[in-house]
Structure 1
Amino acid sequence: MSPHNGHPNHEHMPRRGVIATLAMMAAGLCLLFPAGCGNEKALSFRQAQITHIRQSVVKVYVTIQRPDYRMPWQGGRPGGGTGTGFLIAGRRILTNAHIISDASQIQVQKDGDSRLWPARVAAVAHDCDLALLTVDDPVFFESMSHLPIAESMPTLNDEVTVYGYPLGGDRLSITRGVVSRLDYGVYVHSGVDQHLVMQVDAAINPGNSGGPVIFRKQVVGVAFQGLEMAENIGYVIPVPVVRRFLEDMQDDQYHGYPELGALCFSRRNEALMKALQLPATDNGPVVMYVDPYGNAYGRLNARDVLLTIDDHPIQDDGTVLMNGNSVDFHEIIELKQHGTTVRFEVWRDMQRITVEVPLSVPDDPFIFRTRYDQTPECVMMAGLVFTVLTRNHFTLLGRDWSDRYAAQWLYFSQYAKMDNLYKQFDEFVVLSNILPHPVNTHCHGFRHGIVTGANGHPVRNLADLRQALESPTNGFHIIQFAGLQDWMVLPADEVRKAETEIASSYELPDPEAP
């Protein structure tokens, strides 16, 4: 953009350029003055459409207090933020989960209205970064109209419009861009869940999140994340993910996404094809690992070749063709709900077989999603703070990945199931913090370690640790950690004497109080 707000610098324009420009202006006069060209109705219609959408879009204000994983008994520092939402059928406001997560107060504001209306969460889906809000005061919905949700996605190069309240101003922002990519990617909010993503070349900045993305007067997605260090690249939760979330909520309860739990790799190796004796006319990825908590466990096997899914042929790279787009075959499972089934045609032991997999949402403690809206549990003794390892704990390390336990945390969180660690643990208990006191001065080398045993008892979970610490061994508390031969040893009498002093110094609940 030039120093003149994007207009060309006319000072040095050649004379013939000026004449040519005047001629073009004369020829295109009706473009500059649409009223004289019969376009007034078109403009009026478009303005009415924008007005209709503006009446449906709200600004969301939140007060947030994240948990403090170093000191779980107290909340973190309160903060605030803003985002966008929009009204859909049923007097519900659709927005992003990351806007309202850990919020202690939520308010919404209509366009052109200075009043802030108290709102509450009606449903939240952290695995797909969507949430529903509602306002109890029926007056709020007067003069508002809901936006319809489209049945299908736009195609590549279709122009869409993004509405929202990005940071830097209080007024509604309207930007346009084209659909540049449809892909399958990680949703930053949970850190692990992968769903369909629509990329647009319209900037999506903080505050835009939760805003509707419109195509042909219908919502085709929800703006939800941008790309750092890149201009005019925004990401949208596309309409299939939105519709699935709303369908899941039909019984007023969110169940979540079924997890197949089959890790596959591309079958492009000629030697592998011969080893599997797969006919040359067949395609499909090869299963290399089946998650013990996944729906495929006991139904699919390692070295199975997945040929089709619900009659959709699967290519060697694991993609299928859906609505003219090539997407990962998991997208077919993504669209299914808890309690349904998916059917595979599989090449196993030199024959084609059909395998049906019932789909459910597993209770898997080893999916390391970022946690929200819950206070972390902890066990404290002698100023030692023990908690359950979660994805949130990685923020304790900050940028200091030189911590010797960082690699251990990463290994345990990523390979708990593949390396059978889950057989020894229900969850991983870590020493997340040490409140300095003379009784624990020698313990700092164990900070961030993963507990495997205490006082002669194995520690599978936090409850095991709590119970084990009630019974010292020969007058000492002895705690073992993964990967270390040294034990942490604390005299039980000194620990008992120090508890009240530590509680007073750090404003903890008095352990001797009734």
Structure 2
Amino acid sequence: MKTARLAAAVAFALAGLVHAQDTTPPPAPTPATPPSPATATPSATTAPALPAIENSVVKIFATVRRPDLYKPWAKQSPADVTGSGVIIEGRRILTNAHVVGYASQVEVQASQSGDKVPAKVIALARGLDLAVLELEDPSFFDKRPPVQRAAVLPDVREAVYAYGYPVGGNSLSTTRGIVSRVEFVGYGSFSSGLRIQIDAPINPGNSGGPVIAGDKMIGLAFSMATNAQNIGYVIPNEEIELFLKDVADGRYDGKPLLHDSTQTLENPALRQYLKLEKSVEGAMVHRPYKKDASWPLKEGDIITHIGEHAVDNQGMVKLGSNLRVRFQYRIQQVAKNGKVPMTIVRGGKPMQVEVPASGPRPLLIPDLNGGYPSYFVYGPVAFTRATTEFMAFLLGSSGAMAAYSFNDSPLVTHLGDSPEGAREELVVISSPFFPHKLVTGYSNRFGSVVDTVNGVKIRSLAHLVSTLRDLKDEHVVFKFDQRYGETMILPRKAALDATEGILSDNGIRTQGSEDMMKVWGGK
């Protein structure tokens, strides 16, 4: 199941959605199974007067340097990207995280202006693809008002207008469409939220631009489908409000999440086995997040209500009179003090419980989350920790996926696992061996997960570095965690002596990232 899940995620990232900026973006969010589209009466919304919007929509120029996952000691070459942004309250600009992520320089240009004003990122949430900018010159906002945001979701089939600066021109662009559906989906980086689908064209460069219904903004354009025509996606105001509230203290903590796994209650045999009355509807807990006795949810519990909101047999809750979304949507609304009130049925009896909710759970293979990879070079071998970005880079083809699956690599078999005491993260060889006689005759171990070094089970990259640092043996014996794979033995002193020359030959300034060099130095 994990292999299939990863394959689907990689395939979708390559072919399903792209962000609407004018250079190749990072992988798109993974969608969840969509609910049935809602229906509503179409409205006769007209486009707001252009000057009212024109003054509040800006073009964003960013110079970005993303990580080089193949060479973790380096960054990719600088790339210039453009996107859109919208002025919001507090003399700030709202845009997408993928427009300004990894940016070394950000500038903002107003419509009909030749000046570019320096800006800096003051808040960013990669999972929800939102970011807030602050300008060096606050007078920029003196004659440029914030766009007002609607307090409610738009109706399905309501007319909308997308504003932004797509490629192909320099002036503000407007496209018209309707709301196709509203759903609760996975955005990426293990974040979920509401998403609006529209049929107004969203083109590269539109990312971060407002989508307007009537005279108010209903959300922020952020991506488009590449395998269909005129399907664009919008982050609705509700998600924006939660994000802005979260970052008010200068830090993004993330939305409360429920980590227990559930399934639907549609199957008659399942309901009969559980001895459920016909009147009982909800979602069944099939794998609690924790198995200890104190955890409030148990296997076989039926979640019938999230707060006061009834859950149906498809695991959906009503949102308004004509829309249903996954019940997880209500968690972000009802969670208080880190707990979610629920009504469950256990053993045929209803009961009230409070389930702890938190941000994304720790993962054995985490996201970089806007950072650069840690690394360490030892002789002709470079090591790094496995991340979801490295995985997408490594397993970006069906052939690679099949090979790693067949080899029983932990990169596949432990996808989605949480860290544990014996293994906090996966340590991998980040790139092919550097040319050197010390690795003559060995097969390329690029992408292999280190299992042991001289019999010591490796828990993390820092643990690998400290183990190598403290070794006194004549040889260093590397064994890898996979079905097929050689044992690699290096003469310890020769590997240490060769490292400096290898770094110099390959233009690598330091043997390791700053955090790993502290470990190597015994700090």
Q: Distance in 1 between matches of 2:435 and 2:290?
A: 41
In structure 1, distance between residues paired with 2:48 and 2:340: 45
1:204 aligns with 2:198: no
The amino acid of 2:55's aligned partner reads Q
Structure 2 equivalent of residue 358 of structure 1: 356
Is residue 52 of structure 2 the alignment partner of residue 52 of structure 1? yes
Instruction: Please give the alpha-carbon distance, in whole angstroms, between the structure 2 residues aligned to 1:220 and 1:202.
Output: 14
Partner of 1:242: 240
Corresponding position of 1:164: 164
Within a 5 Å distance, the mapping from 1:107-126 to structure 2 comes to: 107-126=107-126
> Are positions 1:497 and 2:497 aligned together?
yes
1:312 aligns with 2:309: yes
Secondary structure, aligned partner of 1:402:
helix
Structure 1 residue 51, shift from structure 2 partner: 0.6
Query: In the TM superposition, what whole-angstrom CA distance separates every residue of 1:240-280 from its partner, at most 9, and x where no partner exists?
Result: 11111112223332211122101111112222212222222
1:451 and 2:450 aligned: yes
Q: Distance in 2 between matches of 1:267 and 1:228?
A: 34
Measured after TM superposition, the shift of residue 215 of structure 1 is: 1.3
> Structure 2 vs 1, CA of residues 510 and 256 (structure 1 numbering), >3 Å: closer, same or farther?
closer
CA, structure 1 residues 157+497, in 2 after alignment: closer, same or farther (shift >3 Å)? same
Task: Tell me how far apart the structure 1 counterparts of residues 510 and 230 of structure 2 sit (CA, whole Å).
Answer: 54
- Give the Å deviation of 1:409: 5.4
Match of 2:463 in 1: 464
Name the structure 2 match of 1:97.
97
**Inter-CA distance 173–194: structure 2 relative to 1 (3 Å threshold):** same
Instruction: Measure, in 2, the Cα distance between the counterparts of 1:339 and 1:296.
Output: 22
- Report the alpha carbon displacement of residue 86 of structure 1 after superposing the two structures with TM: 0.6
AA aligned opposite 2:457: P
The residue type paired with residue 305 of structure 1 is: I
AA matched with 1:307: T
Stretches of structure 1 that go unaligned for 5 or more consecutive residues are 1-45
Tell me: CA distance 1:303–1:92, structure 2 relative to 1, closer, same or farther (3 Å).
Answer: same
Q: CA deviation at 1:311?
A: 1.5
Equivalent in the alignment of 2:295: 298
Give per-residue Cα distances to partners, 1:370-413, cap 9 Å, x unaligned.
x3431210121112111111111134336444343366355245
Matched, 1:75 2:75: yes
CA contact 1:177–1:201 (8 Å) conserved in 2: yes
Counterparts of 2:76 and 2:66 in 1: how far apart (Å)?
5
CA distance in 2, matches of 1:282, 1:398: 43
- Structure 2 residue aligned with 1:383: 380
User: Does structure 2 conserve the Cα–Cα contact (< 8 Å) formed by 1:150 and 1:239?
Assistant: yes
Compared CA separation, residues 252 and 399, structure 1 to 2 (3 A):
closer
Q: Displacement of 1:337 after TM fit?
A: 6.4
Q: Which moved more, 1:387-396 or 1:124-133?
A: 387-396
Q: Indicate the structure (1 or 2) with the bigger Cα radius of gyration.
A: 1
Q: Structure 2 unaligned runs (5+)?
A: 1-45
Given the alignment of the two structures, is residue 439 of structure 1 paired with residue 451 of structure 2, yes or no? no
- Please state how far the C-alpha of 1:145 moved relative to its aligned partner: 0.6
Give the SS at the match of 1:213: strand
Task: Check the 8 A contact 2:363/2:416 in 1, yes or no.
Answer: no
The residue type equivalent to 1:313 in the other structure is: A
User: In the aligned structure 2, how far is the partner of 1:382 from the partner of 1:482?
Assistant: 21
Aligned partners of 2:147, 2:176: CA distance in 1, in Å?
Answer: 18
The 5 A counterparts of 1:59-70 are: 59-70=59-70
Where does residue 10 of structure 1 map in the other structure?
Answer: none
Q: In 1, distance between residues paired with 2:117 and 2:134?
A: 10
Which of 342, 346, 349 is 1:348 aligned to?
Answer: 346
What letter matches 2:248 in structure 1?
Q
Matched, 1:224 2:222: yes
- The one-letter code matched in structure 1 to 2:204 is P
Aligned residue for 1:356, secondary structure, equals: strand
**Which residue identity does 1:134 align to in structure 2?**
E
Alignment of 1:130-209 (within 5 A): 130-187=130-187, 190=188, 192-209=190-207
Q: Contact 1:56/1:146 (CA < 8 Å) preserved in 2?
A: yes
TM (norm. structure 2) is 0.83
Per the alignment, in what secondary structure is the counterpart of residue 470 of structure 1? helix
Distance 1:462 1:297 in 2: 33
Corresponding residue for residue 411 of structure 1: 412
**Secondary structure in 2 matching 1:73:** coil
Q: 1: distance between equivalents of 2:170 and 2:333? A: 37
1:430 matched to 2:428: yes
Q: Spell out the pairing of 1:9-28 with structure 2 (5 A cutoff).
A: none
Tell me, yes or no, if the aligned pair for 1:405 and 1:448 is still in contact at 8 Å: no
TM-score by length of 1: 0.84
Alpha-carbon contact 2:365-2:388 (below 8 Å) kept: no
| Deviation at residue 469 of structure 1 after TM alignment | 1.0
Q: Which amino acid aligns with 2:480?
A: F
- Distance verdict in 2 for CA 1:338–1:447, change over 3 Å: farther
> In the aligned structure 2, how far is the partner of 1:249 from the partner of 1:65?
24
Within 5 Å, give how 1:472-491 maps onto structure 2.
472=471, 474-484=473-483, 486-491=486-491
